[in-house]
Amino acid sequence: MERKTQVLVVGAGPVGLLAALRLRQRGLDVTIVDQNEHDTARSFAVVLHARTLAMLGDLGLFEPFVWQGQAFKRIVVFAGGERRAILDVPTFGELADGGLTLPQNVLRNALELALQKEGVYVEYLHRLTTLRQDDSAVYAEVTRREPVSAPLSSQGRFEWRDAEALSLQADYVIGTDGRASAVRKGLGIGLCEAAPPQIYGFFDAPHEPPAGQSLELVVGPETNAMYPLHGGITRYTFELDAAPSKPLDAQKLRELRLARMPWHAAGHESVEWSGVHTFERALVERFGQGRAWLAGDAAHTTSPLGAQSLNVGLREARELADGIAEAIATGDRQRLSTGYDVQREREWRKLLCFGGQPSLSPATPSWAKQHLQNLLAALPATGDELDACLATLGVTLI
Ligand SMILES: Cc1cc2nc3c(=O)[nH]c(=O)nc-3n(C[C@H](O)[C@H](O)[C@H](O)COP(=O)(O)OP(=O)(O)OC[C@H]3O[C@@H](n4cnc5c(N)ncnc54)[C@H](O)[C@@H]3O)c2cc1C
C-alpha cells in the first residue's frame, strides 16, 4: 500500500536533517530516509562559517557546538614559501565572531536530536531507488534493507540485503542525498564540471602546543590547509597529485609537511585519523523542478578546504523548507523556480567562477592573482562575508 507524506527528505546528512527540522518547525508532516545505518563511527571534522553558526543559533542549536568545537578567527595565507596575508575570519552577528571546526557527528547528532524532539525519526536503511512526478504529487520507490544474520564481515560489521520495496507518495521531495544523488538522477539533471577533480589527503594529528585560533592556507600549484580542531588536534589537508598507493601514515605526514609547510616540520609523531577523497568542482544544470528539489552536495561540490558546499547547503536547506512550506500553504509553486532555483544558481556560478574570472584591482597581489580559484575555494566564507574577505585583496567576484 502507498504511504503518504507531505514532504519526503532523501538523505539524513547535515543538510537533510536541517531541512526536515525546518519543515517540522513550519508544521509540516515530514518523512526522512537514509540508505545507511545510523553512523556512530568516528567522523571527520567539518568547518562551520560564521553565518552558519548564526543560523544554527537562531534554531537554538548553538550550545552543543561551543564546547565540542574549536573556534578560529584568523586566516594566515602562505604562498611561494612565505607568509603573504593575515585575514580576519568574517563575523556574523553577536554569537558568531569567527568560524568553528567540529566533528561532523556532533553536528548531525544535534540536528537529529532536535528533529526527534519534534517527533520525527530518521528511517535508516531505506534507500530511494526510483522517483517520478506529475502535476499533483511525487512517487518514490524506497527499498528497506536489513542485516544478514550471517556471515559477519571480517571487520565485524553487518552485511545488508534488500528486504522490502515500499511506495511513498509525497507533495514534495527534497534530495539531500549527497554527491551520487539518486534524486538528481531520477530527475534527469546533469552536473556541469567547473574544474577537474582534485584528490585530497586528510590527517588529524596531535599538536603541541595546540594550534590556537588561526587557520593556515598554503596556496600554490596545490592548495593545503591546517585547521585547529578541539582537544589539541590539528587537521592537515593536502591536495595530492595522485591517489596514494598505501594508507596515509605519520611518515607521509612528515614528508608532506616538510615539502609544503616546513614551519611545521618538527613534532607530530602520530596520526589519529587519515583519509583520502576525490572532490569534484561541479554544479547541477538546475536545482530541481516541479515538486522535487535538491540541496547540499546533491546539487554542488567543491574543494573541502573552505567547506563552502556544506555551509551553503545548510542555508539551502532552510530556504527550500521555507519555500516548500509557502508553496503548500498557497498552492503556488512558482517561487520555488523563480526564487530558489535562480538564487542558488546565481550564488554557485559565482563561487565556481562559471560567470568568468573574478575582476582584479591593481592592488591585488601577484600571488593571489596566480592562485585565485584555489584561494577562493579555500576561504571559509560565502556570500557577503566572502566578498568582504576578497575585497581586502582587491578581488571582486562576478
Ligand atoms: C573524506 C571527506 C572529508 C571531508 N572533509 C571536510 C572538511 O574538512 N570540511 C567540510 O566542511 N566538509 C568536508 N567534507 C565534505 C562534507 O562532508 C560534505 O560537504 C557534507 O557532508 C555535505 O552534506 P550533505 O548533507 O549535503 O550530504 P552528505 O553528508 O553526503 O549526506 C548524504 C546522505 O544521503 C544518504 N543517501 C545517499 N543516497 C541515498 C539514497 N539513494 N537513498 C537514501 N539515502 C541516501 C547518505 O547515506 C548520506 O547520509 C568532507 C567529505 C569527505 C567525504
Q: Is 44 in the pocket of ligand 1 (CB under 6 A)?
A: yes
- How confident is the model over 294-322, as a mean pLDDT? 97
Q: Closest Cα to atom 44, ligand 1: which residue?
A: 34
Task: Compute the average pLDDT of residues 327-356.
Answer: 93
**45 bridge partner residues:** 103
| 363 Cα–ligand 1 center, Å | 38
Tell me how far the alpha carbon of residue 158 lies from the centroid of ligand 1, in angstroms. Answer: 21
Residue type, 95: L
Looking at residues 111-125, what average pLDDT do you find? 96
Q: How close is the Cα of 178 to the center of ligand 1, in Å?
A: 5
Q: Verify whether ligand 1 is closer than 6 Å to residue 101 (CB atom).
A: no
Task: Tell me what pLDDT residue 181 has.
Answer: 98
More confident residue, 66 or 165: 165
* Rounded Cα distance, 350 and 2, in Å: 42
Is residue 80 pLDDT above 70, yes or no?
Answer: yes
Q: Which residue has the higher pLDDT, 267 or 17?
A: 17
Band of residue 20 on the pLDDT scale cut at 50, 70, 90 = very high
Cβ proximity of 236 and 274 under 8 Å: no
Q: Which domains does the chain have, with CATH numbers?
A: 3-47+106-191+281-351 (3.50.50.60)
Q: Is the pLDDT of residue 159 over 80?
A: no
Is the minimum distance from the CB of 309 to ligand 1 under 6 angstroms?
Answer: yes
Residue 145, classed as helix, strand or coil, is strand
pLDDT in tens, 236-287: 999 999 999 999 999 999 999 999 999 988 876 799 999 999 999 999 999 9
Which of 72-76, 148-152, 293-297, 394-398 has the weakest average pLDDT? 148-152
Model confidence at 217, pLDDT cuts 50, 70, 90, reads very high
Q: How far is CA 91 from CA 63, 97, 314, in A?
A: 18, 4, 17
Q: How far is the CA of 298 from the centre of ligand 1 (A)?
A: 9
| Contact 102 CB / ligand 1 (< 6 Å) | no
pLDDT tens readout for residues 53-66: 999 998 888 887 87
CA of 76 to the centre of ligand 1 (A): 27
The residue nearest atom 30 of ligand 1, judged by CA position, is 178
Closest-CA residue, ligand 1 atom 16, reads 310
> What is residue 269's predicted lDDT score, i.e. its pLDDT?
77
What confidence score (pLDDT) does residue 92 get? 81
Minimal-distance CA residue to ligand 1 atom 38: 177
Closest ligand 1 atom to residue 11 Cα is: 34
Mutate to test the pocket of ligand 1, among 176, 233, 239, 287 (most ligand atoms within 8 A of CB): 176
Q: Show Cβ contacts of residue 291 under 8 Å, excluding neighbours closer than 6 positions.
A: 133, 137, 138, 170, 171, 172, 173, 333
Q: Give the Å distance between the CA of 205 and the centre of ligand 1.
A: 22
CB 114, CB 76: distance < 8 Å: no
Distance 37 CA to ligand 1 centre (A): 14
C-alpha 299 – ligand 1 centre gap (Å): 12
